[in-house]
Structure 1
Amino acid sequence: MNVSETASRVSISTQNASVDFPIFDARSRSLKKTIMGMVGGNISTTEGKVPVIEALRDITMHLEHGARVGLVGHNGAGKSTLLRLLSGIYEPTRGEASINGRVAPVFDLGVGMDPEISGFENIIIRGLFLGMTRKQMEERIDDIAAFTELGDFLSMPLRTYSTGMRVRLALGVVTSIDPEILLLDEGIGAVDAAFLEKSKRRLSDLVDRAGLLVFASHSDEFLRELCDTAIWMEHGQIKLQGDLEDVLRAYKGQPA
């Protein structure tokens, strides 16, 4: 398939898509509090029925190849839940969602990594988790190793790594892939400033290679580097969608 054919088929479309989570033990306040912390949204209750968290409600969007979309909103607004809907991890309870293209969901840098095997082995496993082939990851090992600056630690089990070292390894893998659709939830931390800057440059290159990007972040600076449009999420709904600067001004309550 040539580049133009790939570009024409890469897209994300949702139509009035909603995601609900029923709470079967309504007497457990701790359970409700835990789920609310994970997905945000609103709790809907009807007499005699199981309470339901409306994590996302009536999400309608259409994104095509070349889109660079930032997600903004407070914690619990539904940004991470929306990314999981767009990746196919969650299916809409109501409405429709259609994703065309190979998706690389980057939500938790530690997902797909095994603490009992070496850093080198984890590079392969994490790459497979993100949709790459073993051959593709083997071709990237030297580049990833050089980027992480972990040296001999790459031959040691992941459980011997500090948090910062794990982040370095995960970022090295994530920024080496070739996605058609990149769904990114900002999770860079526990690394020194110099390495963080180095990571941002690699993430920018990753975005350049991706056909379509949706990026959830609290950093205006980072959003401006990677995105040109934005979606403001609030209480599980799209409050505003449009030009990045217009959405950021509205979100912060600044005049146009």
Structure 2
Amino acid sequence: MAYIQLNNTTLDLPIYDVQGRSLKKQVMRMGRRNSIAEGNDGVVVVRALDSVDLRFESGDRIGLIGHNGAGKSTLLRIMAGIYAPTYGTVESDGKIVPLLDISLGMDENSTGMQNIRLRGLLLGMSDTEIREKQQSIAEFCELGDYLDLPLRTYSSGMRVRLGFAISTAVDAEILLLDEVMGVGDASFMHKAEERLADLHSRAEIVVLAMHSNAEIRKVCNKVLWMERGRVRAFGPTEEVISEYEAQV
């Protein structure tokens, strides 16, 4: 059974470009509200996550809510292994697929077809799996002959289509999503929504950050409310969202 568990997980992010006394004083004043502090070595650090204890198990569909800067995206990234915790641990069992930056690992000078392999390898697919899925990825993104051209010739919309098609071809046990973006015209958007719904249904655990509480109500059975890098509330969807909406 898949699970992901955070044990007293804390993440400090250093700010290396804070120079000058006046700027540092301004940043430190902000710290009274936003967990910003100066370390013993004089480096200013942001406490992005603070003593988070959580466990998600098979069947969980978790929606992340909270204001911008509350720690939602950071939490997804630390679960994905992009960040290592400063303190505490992150444990998991099951294949984690993060749909956080769907163009990560793609190369400007490589063709679309070559980027299918590059992005696929980054997502943990084997060469055999990539070969088996390459044609279906090509058909889904609807880029035709452009797949034989370098990525640098693509529009932003074409890049998103290709990245989305590759990323959603992976079989995930633990699926992490951060605010799914638009992927084209209405007909393609409909395909994309169906593909995501299928991906959700096959994953054992889904954790997603969205700004739409209505969408979270539709797809999530639990909600995690983040505030200033800490867990403010975690529980049944309607209970937590209602409490959140009463506060904002």
Which category of TM-score, normalised to the shorter sequence, fits these structures? Answer: 0.7 to 0.9
Matched, 1:144 2:137: yes
CA contact (8 A) 2:222 2:237 kept: yes
TM-score, structure 2 normalization: 0.88
Root-mean-square deviation (CA, aligned residues, Å) is 2.5
Structure 2 Cα separation of the partners of residues 48 and 132 of structure 1 = 42
Structure 1: give runs of 5+ residues left out of the alignment: 1-6
Structure 1 Cα separation of the partners of residues 224 and 235 of structure 2 = 7
Aligned to 2:66: 73
TM-score, structure 1 normalization: 0.85
Aligned to 2:102: 109
Structure 1 Cα separation of the partners of residues 217 and 194 of structure 2 = 13
Aligned amino acid, residue 131 of structure 1: G
Aligned to 2:216: 223
Equivalenced residue count is 241
Matched, 1:170 2:196: no
- Structure 1 residues 181-223: Cα deviation after superposition (integer angstroms, max 9, x where no partner): 1111124125223322221110111111212111111123432
Q: 3-state DSSP class of the match of 2:101? A: coil
Aligned amino acid, residue 87 of structure 1: A
Q: CA deviation at 1:48?
A: 7.8
Matched, 1:85 2:78: yes
- Seen in structure 2, the aligned counterparts of structure 1 residues 59 and 179 have a Cα distance that, compared at 3 Å, is same
- Seen in structure 2, the aligned counterparts of structure 1 residues 96 and 196 have a Cα distance that, compared at 3 Å, is same
CA contact (8 A) 2:225 2:244 kept: yes
Aligned amino acid, residue 154 of structure 1: L
CA contact (8 A) 1:23 1:51 kept: yes
Q: CA deviation at 1:47?
A: 8.4
Structure 2 Cα separation of the partners of residues 24 and 151 of structure 1 = 44
Matched, 1:118 2:111: yes
Equivalent in 7, 13, 35 of residue 5 of structure 2: 13
- Seen in structure 2, the aligned counterparts of structure 1 residues 80 and 43 have a Cα distance that, compared at 3 Å, is same
Aligned amino acid, residue 83 of structure 2: Y
- Seen in structure 2, the aligned counterparts of structure 1 residues 249 and 152 have a Cα distance that, compared at 3 Å, is same
Equivalent in 239, 246, 250 of residue 232 of structure 2: 239
Aligned amino acid, residue 53 of structure 1: V
Q: 3-state DSSP class of the match of 2:242? A: helix
CA contact (8 A) 2:15 2:44 kept: yes
CA contact (8 A) 1:188 1:196 kept: no
- Structure 1 residues 90-126: Cα deviation after superposition (integer angstroms, max 9, x where no partner): 2222222212222112211110111111111111111
CA contact (8 A) 1:204 1:225 kept: no
Matched, 1:27 2:19: yes
- Seen in structure 2, the aligned counterparts of structure 1 residues 149 and 225 have a Cα distance that, compared at 3 Å, is farther
Aligned amino acid, residue 233 of structure 1: M
Structure 2: give runs of 5+ residues left out of the alignment: none
Q: CA deviation at 1:150?
A: 1.1
Q: 3-state DSSP class of the match of 2:91? A: strand
Q: CA deviation at 1:79?
A: 0.7
Q: 3-state DSSP class of the match of 2:64? A: strand
CA contact (8 A) 2:183 2:192 kept: no
Q: CA deviation at 1:23?
A: 3.4
Structure 2 Cα separation of the partners of residues 97 and 67 of structure 1 = 17
